[in-house]
Copies of this chain bind each other. A is one copy, B any other.
Amino acid sequence: MSNNTELNLKDCEIIENEIKMLGDEIRALKAEKADPNIVKEKVAKMLEKKALIGDAGKSKEMSKFTLKTPKGTRDYNPQAMSIREKVLNLVTNVFKVHGAETIDTPVFELKEILMGKYGDEGGKLVFDLANQGGELCSLRYDLTVPFARYLAQNKQTNIKRYQIAKVYRRDQPYMTKGRYREFYQCDFDIAGQYDSMVPESECIKIIDDVLKKLDIGTYEIRINHRLFLEGIFEICGAPANEFKNVCSSIDKLDKQPWEEVKEELVKVKFIDEKVVNKLEKYVRLREQNPSFDRIQLLEWFEKDEIASKNAKITTAIEEMKLMFEYSECFGVSSSAVFEPSLARGLDYYTGLIYEAIIIECPFFIKPEECDEEEKNARIGSVAAGGRYDKLVGMFLQGTGNDKKAKNDVPCIGVSFGIERLFTLVEMKYKTCGIPMRTNETEVFVATAQKGLLKERMKICKDLWESDIKAEMIYKKNPKLLTQLQYCEEKSIPYAIIIGQREIEEGVVKVRHVINRQENDVKLGDLTGKLKELLNC
């Protein structure tokens, strides 16, 4: 890394200018055949300046191009893309199996649409477009708020939709940990007025289906309820206006010991220690009773003298029991559990909340061999969501729709941590030694002799017309070795080889690239024979 990372753009420009001026001076000096020592001195000075802004400046254009992607973003090469495509196809197919439609929204929204939806912290992380005259716009921060805007704008009250698209957060990037400023989100949501817990169970089912099919290890779908948390706060005497504040600490319990969380609550957030002590019993219930199953945990609260008297808690417990009943009908595995300490961040949740994490994974390389991104994918959530019944209403109210009853479009959804899933599947491929193909070419059309370009072209044409994926090299006189090496590199299963003899006899050699077996096939039978071979 060069040292220019510490210079801001303004500084760079100033130095660049100085370099330019020195360059002009040097040229002038040389032109008038000045004392070489003076020239040398100037050159040294210029090199010094150049070193300041980058590694030993070469041409003056170089400072115009920094060949990189913007901070916090990256390119995806064909290998990364092929993993992405596989994972996205699998997830999309699950959504389609559940009858979902898809929509698309612009990558930027009016700034005012996004404002106030992501809490104080989120708000600061929104990317704005420059004001080039006209509306103030910002890049989308998630897909949920644009979805709610879409529903409100189109006065649509029910839909089951998925959307897979990139979102933007001006977070401090931590690329080695997989935290980027541009990343995919992959959302499934159900909007509409339906019976209690039925859409909820389908969302849980979808998480279960996706994680089962991805086959990247055992997982847990942790479930909680906003009303449950609010009720617990009430019975512990935690101030209602500190709800978000306390939640964000409690939510860390999956990664931090209670003692640390408690310290933060008492010493940083100034929550009364008595309150915190009361909270402990409830939020650590699962942790401290590992033998309890999800129903036993829920029933504990029904039996608890204090908790069972709180209306919010009883509603939440009832709903969660119903949800587990339904999701059992849907065949959701026992991986779905009740976790009293789950308290997801976003402001807009109003009911059930959930997140899924990978517990154990046979494909994990040893922790000490993982890079940071891989480690992070192992511990972070790979899917999360919940019910948000008021978000669409916020938009409808905003436009002055005064019919209160119409102002609510209840919604529930799940967002897959698709970037982490990409990383995990990549690890699986690596560990299991599954070759990662970057294209899908089935047959490479090669020549053993010079020329024969047009003959190869005609064979390609025949293959393409039969929808066989085929390639050839764009050269008149390629070397056979080069062509076969390409086949191995790209894991292309078959090569067709033609030479003068084959042309004369009206045949081609079909070579199995891995086992190197070769057979002559009549030109007329070629596509049929290949289709046969490719289907096995």
In the complex, A205→B209 CA distance in Å?
41
- On chain B, the residues within 8 Å of A400 by CB distance are 1-2, 57-59, 62-63
Pair B129/A397 contact, Cβ less than 8 Å: no
- On chain B, the residues within 8 Å of A475 by CB distance are 194-195, 198
Pair A81/B103 contact, Cβ less than 8 Å: yes
Indicate if A535 sits at the interface (CB-CB under 8 A). Answer: no
The residues in A between 60 and 88 inclusive whose CB is less than 8 angstroms from any CB of B are 60-71, 73-78, 80-82, 84-85
A366-397 CB contact bits vs B (8 Å, 1 = yes)?
00000000000000000000000000001101
In the complex, A338→B109 CA distance in Å?
44
Of all chain B residues, which has the CB nearest A117? B61
From B131, B136, B194, contact of A474 by CB (8 A): B194
Of all chain B residues, which has the CB nearest A30? B239
Q: Report which residue of A71, A97, A160, A325 has the largest number of chain B beta carbons within 10 angstroms of its beta carbon.
A: A97
A158-187 CB contact bits vs B (8 Å, 1 = yes)?
011100001010100000000000100000
Copies of this chain in its oligomeric complex: 2
In the complex, A225→B473 CA distance in Å?
24
From B152, B402, B438, contact of A58 by CB (8 A): B402
In the complex, A474→B197 CA distance in Å?
9
Pair A195/B476 contact, Cβ less than 8 Å: yes
The 11 listed contacts between A and B (C-beta, < 8 Å) are A64-B115, A67-B149, A99-B439, A100-B439, A128-B129, A194-B473, A198-B453, A198-B476, A329-B454, A329-B458, A329-B461
Residues of A at under 8 Å CB distance from B? Answer: 1-2, 9, 27, 31, 57-71, 73-78, 80-82, 84-85, 96-110, 112-113, 115-117, 127-132, 134-137, 139, 149-150, 152-154, 159-161, 166, 168, 170, 182, 190, 192, 194-195, 198-199, 201-202, 205, 209, 241, 270, 325-326, 329-331, 394-395, 397-400, 402, 438-441, 453-454, 457-458, 460-461, 464-465, 467-471, 473-476
